[in-house]
Amino acid sequence: MQASIPDRNKRGQSRILDNLPGLLTLRLLHYRRSAIFLDHNKNKTCQCSDNATLLRPVMASKVYSAAVVGVDAFEVEVEVHTGYGDHGKVAVVGLPDTAVRESKDRVLSAITNSALRWPRGKITVNLAPATVRKEGPSFDLPIAIGMLKINDDNRIPDLSPYCLAGELALSGELRPVRGVLAIALEAKKRGREILIVPKLNAEEAAPVQGLAAYGAGSLTEVVNFLRGESVLQPVAGQPNFVPGKIDDDFAEVHGQQHVKRAVEVAAAGSHNLLMIGPPGSGKSMIAKRLPTILPPITMAEAIETTKIHSICGILNGSHQFVTERPFRSPHHTVSDAGLLGGSAQPTPGEVSLAHNGVLFLDELPEFHRSTLEVLRQPLEDGKVTISRAAGSMTFPASFMLVAAMNPCPCGHYGNPRRECRCSPSQVQRYRSRLSGPLLDRIDIHIEVPAIEMNELTSTVEGEGSAAIRDRVRRARLVQQKRFAREGSIRNNGQMTTRLLKKYCRLDSEGIELIRKAVTNLNLSARAYDRILKVARTIADLAGADQIAAEHLGEAVQYRTLDRGLW
């Protein structure tokens, strides 16, 4: 009778167990023979073909690049080594993020599609220093060049004078990356002579003196340039800081002469400004014309601002360098992180994007209370520090805050032509959305009343932006000379307590006036300092060396909320 399948399996297992000692003995002899063979031939040269042998280790190649942290960059050494292991296997170490780890697939495809050869065996890429996290695809190009340099057939020369950055497409084309200006500044600081980046980023690095910036369109162009087989032209020239055509002119604003004066004072000294008035009185119209009277941005300020905009990815092919002061106007639904900066890896927010320019907050009370309160530190210090589990970052945030608000929810409180429908409690709740400490940090509070009909229909054109800008520019030149030896201080709005005592001395009449203002209006010490700063700017506009009583009186008049008129 035929045995069942389970019975046959049991008999087979029994025979295997009976022969197990013999099988183990044969396997042990095999390992011993292999060890003897390897030991006997360890000093002999293998004559097998490339496909039939293991590769000997190759000395690592080194390429210099840079990684962006915050708004600055630090140099990264990209080391590439090939040795024993599976051909085409690439390991990226040195604390890379997901985009950097994925670069191995982009790099191998780009090298293949560029008709180039990468080294055989397992490839290890190290990004040093390994203690700092590396982010973004900008390491594609240096990793590819490091791989190609190991293979002698590619004839890549010494790369110590070079700094490379760029993202590779699978076809081998170079795509733009963020933070090129910061990378260029770091390359110059480290003594590199040549920077190679994608073509769309080259103009961004051009203003860095002492560094030759080249733009390439593909990996093949970079390799041929390094070999000396082709020529790339360095990007030269300085950005054009000439003010462009003024589309929105102050001449279009009818009436509101006292508001125009307050805006001129704010622009001359970079003072924070709050406009209060009913809907349709021209608050937003005036704020949007403020950039037309600001002085031109300097090269140092342009570099600071461009670094921030580059890291945030705002620059593009037609706009690679910031040549005008930024004007940012976020919606009132912006989050704390959107305004101040944040996310898991801290990035700049709106306050940093407005650095050296204007941050306009329309309908100020409609912003979340917590969102407005985060403005306290940047308004006071000119910078913002963001702390996360991944680390702490400090971003520059020296901006001019311009805000607009209605006096009440319906907007017509105090309007002689329209009746206010709000109850006193509604008005109080509406105004309480703005905290006292925040209002204290705003230098100028100005009322913007409804425009009279005769002013609205007038054909007389008011003073244009060009004339106002000339006065503002002259006042800023005075401030630049005044603070030439005061470090990073550039205007009256940035003066510290020490500088206030040095440059804002008052005569006896001025001291008596400010004493009465502080006593009668119950002003805080911060409001007192703000009044002195504004008075100093008014004196600069008047061409006066000392602050007079009339300058101080005008500065006090710009504290509408402190005077209890609303």
pLDDT at 119: 82
Q: Confirm if 110 and 174 have CB atoms less than 8 A apart.
A: no
Q: What is the pLDDT confidence band of residue 347, given thresholds at 50, 70 and 90?
A: confident
Give dist(CA 190, CA 182) in Å, integer: 12
pLDDT at 41: 44
Q: Amino acid identity, residue 421?
A: R
pTM: 0.83
What average pLDDT does range 237-244 have in this prediction?
65
What average pLDDT does range 427-432 have in this prediction?
90
What average pLDDT does range 420-424 have in this prediction?
91
Q: Inform me whether the pLDDT recorded for 362 exceeds 60.
A: yes
pLDDT at 566: 52
The tens digit of pLDDT for each residue in 451-474 reads 888 888 888 888 899 999 999 999
Give dist(CA 355, CA 28) in Å, integer: 73
User: Domains in the chain and their CATH numbers?
Assistant: 58-227 (3.30.230.10), 250-492 (3.40.50.300)
Q: Inform me whether the pLDDT recorded for 50 exceeds 50.
A: no
pLDDT at 564: 56
Range of weakest confidence among 58-62, 136-140, 249-253? 58-62
What average pLDDT does range 440-453 have in this prediction?
91
Q: What is the pLDDT confidence band of residue 52, given thresholds at 50, 70 and 90?
A: very low
pLDDT at 225: 95
The tens digit of pLDDT for each residue in 288-315 reads 999 999 999 988 899 999 999 999 888 8
Q: Inform me whether the pLDDT recorded for 35 exceeds 50.
A: no
The tens digit of pLDDT for each residue in 160-205 reads 999 999 999 999 999 999 999 999 999 999 999 999 999 999 989 9
pLDDT at 55: 47
Q: What is the pLDDT confidence band of residue 245, given thresholds at 50, 70 and 90?
A: low
- Biggest CA-to-CA distance, the chain: 128
pLDDT at 455: 82
Q: Inform me whether the pLDDT recorded for 122 exceeds 70.
A: yes
- Average pLDDT score, the chain: 85
The tens digit of pLDDT for each residue in 474-502 reads 999 999 999 999 888 999 999 999 999 99
Q: Which DSSP string corresponds to 249-290? A: -GGG--S-HHHHHHHHHHHHHT--EEEE--TTSSHHHHHHTG
Query: What are the residues facing 198 on neighbouring strands?
Result: 216
Query: What are the residues facing 388 on neighbouring strands?
Result: 391
What average pLDDT does range 243-270 have in this prediction?
87
CA distances from 437 to 41, 499, 529 (A): 81, 22, 14
Q: Inform me whether the pLDDT recorded for 115 exceeds 80.
A: yes
The tens digit of pLDDT for each residue in 371-409 reads 999 999 899 889 998 887 767 888 999 999 999 999 999
pLDDT at 47: 45
pLDDT at 23: 41
Q: For residue 129, is the peptide bond before it cis, meaning its omega torsion is within 30 degrees of 0?
A: yes
Q: What is the pLDDT confidence band of residue 317, given thresholds at 50, 70 and 90?
A: low
CA distances from 478 to 117, 357, 475, 496, 528 (A): 62, 19, 5, 17, 23
Q: Inform me whether the pLDDT recorded for 532 exceeds 80.
A: yes
Q: Between these two residues, 84 and 62, which has the higher pLDDT value?
A: 62
Give dist(CA 65, CA 74) in Å, integer: 9
pLDDT at 140: 96
Q: What is the pLDDT confidence band of residue 247, given thresholds at 50, 70 and 90?
A: confident
Q: Inform me whether the pLDDT recorded for 6 exceeds 80.
A: no
Burial 270-306 (b: 16+ CB within 10 A, else e): bbbbbbbbbeebbbbbbbbbbbbbbbebeeebbbbbb
Give dist(CA 349, CA 343) in Å, integer: 10
Q: Inform me whether the pLDDT recorded for 42 exceeds 80.
A: no
Give dist(CA 528, CA 518) in Å, integer: 7
Classified as helix, coil or strand, 199 is: helix
pLDDT at 28: 41
The tens digit of pLDDT for each residue in 199-228 reads 999 989 988 988 999 999 999 999 999 999
Burial 335-373 (b: 16+ CB within 10 A, else e): eeeebbbbeeebbbbbbbbbbbbbbbbbebbebeeebbe
The tens digit of pLDDT for each residue in 548-561 reads 999 999 999 998 77
Q: What is the pLDDT confidence band of residue 33, given thresholds at 50, 70 and 90?
A: very low
The values of phi and psi at residue 3, to 5°, are -70, 150
pLDDT at 342: 77
Classified as helix, coil or strand, 430 is: helix
* Neighbouring C-beta atoms of residue 431, cutoff 10 Å: 17
